[in-house]
Amino acid sequence: MAKRAPVLWPLVLMVGGVVLLLNNFLLIDLDLAAYWPVLLVLAGAQIVLRGDIAPSWQAHTFGITRGSVQSASLEIESGELDVQVRALRKTGRLIAGQYTARSRPSLNVRNNHATLRMQRGQTWWLSMADWDVSLARDLPWEVLVSSYLGRLEVDLQEVQVERAYIASGMGSVDVICPAQATGTIFARSTFGDVRLSIPANSRAIITVSQSAPGRVKVDPDRFEEIEPGTYITLNAGAMDENALELDIVAKTVFGAVHIN
């Protein structure tokens, strides 16, 4: 698919050309050297509006068909990029979404299991477009998403999850959990908040590991603390481990863990 067309830089070139033309014909009198900080403002606006600093490194869209794949793993190392993960709306595809330059998922299929990897290290450092990834809903996934400076928004409520690990060094981590998962869901941030949304009817146990600066904020109408740092949903009954549908581990050092 074609990448999104840049908007800001062509507009800047047109306006700048008009100003230079008027200045050359003495219709206006400007000391252009005094206005060089405007370039920093425009570069910042480009990053905010388009997610990238250069028009040739815009985000690209992609889609990979499912084929014979019966299960899959997604491994994302996003560096300083924001990442959004959610379920695909259309059937027939394994994965689809948006990626920054040169970070298209690499695909390896073995015994009907697909492994997809997206790595920030393969991308030019000025290319800062966010990653937006959607996963097939009709097969089980192992999900690993990590960043050292980026916000991670992972919506797994319509995804079949075997296990998940979502971690950020300096950024918030938002996880909408599935109704059930066969393995553990880990959510961690060192310098950011961790927000967990638990489906209303799921029976879950949440273990929170935190240092002294960390805080825990729990909805008391839905969860109770059975021992320090361990919370269960009020519908978990007599804590039969075989009946629990979600096992979640959350960790933060300088942020807060929100459970609702």
Order of strands across the sheet with 113-119? Answer: 106-110, 113-119, 71-77, 140-147, 160-168, 184-189, 246-252, 204-210, 230-233, 223-227
Single pTM value for the model: 0.76
Q: How confident is the model at residue 4 (pLDDT cuts 50, 70, 90)?
A: very low
Q: Is residue 89 part of a domain?
A: yes
Pair (104, 154) in one structural domain: yes
Statement to judge: residues 92 and 209 lie in one domain: yes
Q: Per-residue pLDDT for 6 more than 70?
A: no
Note whether residue 84 is domain-resident.
Answer: yes
- Would you state the pLDDT for residue 117? 95
Are residues 32 and 80 located together in one domain of the fold?
Answer: no
Give domain status of residue 96, yes or no.
yes
Whether residue 19 is predicted with pLDDT greater than 50 in this model: the reply is: yes
Q: Which domain holds residue 41?
A: 8-50
Question: Minimum mean pLDDT among 28-42, 64-78, 192-206: which range?
Answer: 28-42
80 and 206 together in one domain: yes
Decide if 252 is inside a domain: yes
pLDDT for position 242? 61
25/138 same-domain check? no
SS (H, E, C) the chain: CCCCCCCHHHHHHHHHHHHHHHHHCCCCCCCHHHHCHHHHHHHHHHHHHHCCCCHHHCCEEEEEECCCCCEEEEEEECCCCCEEEEECCCCCEEEEEEECCCCCCEEEEECCEEEEEEEHHHCCCCCCCCEEEEECCCCEEEEEEEECCCCEEEECCCCEEEEEEEEECCCCEEEECCCCECCEEEEEECCCCEEEECCCCCCEEEEEEECCCCEEEECCCCEEEEECCEEEECCCCCCCHHHCCEEEEEEECCCEEEEC
Percent of the chain with pLDDT over 90: 52
Name the more confident of 111 and 25: 111
Report pLDDT for 49.
55
211, part of any domain: yes
Same domain for 228 and 152:
yes
In this prediction, residues 23-51 reach a mean pLDDT of 66
Same domain for 190 and 139? yes
Flag whether pLDDT at 51 surpasses 60: no
Q: Which residue has the higher pLDDT, 22 or 131?
A: 131
Joined tokens for residue 245: 């549908």
Q: 100-118 pLDDT, tens per residue?
A: 877 888 999 999 999 999 9
How many domains, the chain? 2
pLDDT of 73 higher than 60: yes
Q: Are residues 254 and 142 in the same domain?
A: yes
Whether residue 185 is contained in a domain is answered as yes
> Residues 43, 143: one domain?
no
Residues 147 and 202 in one domain: yes
For residue 17, the model assigns a pLDDT of: 73
Give the highest mean pLDDT range of 4-8, 118-122, 238-242.
118-122
128 and 204: one domain?
Answer: yes
Q: For residues 42 and 169, state if they share a domain.
A: no
55 belongs to a structural domain: no
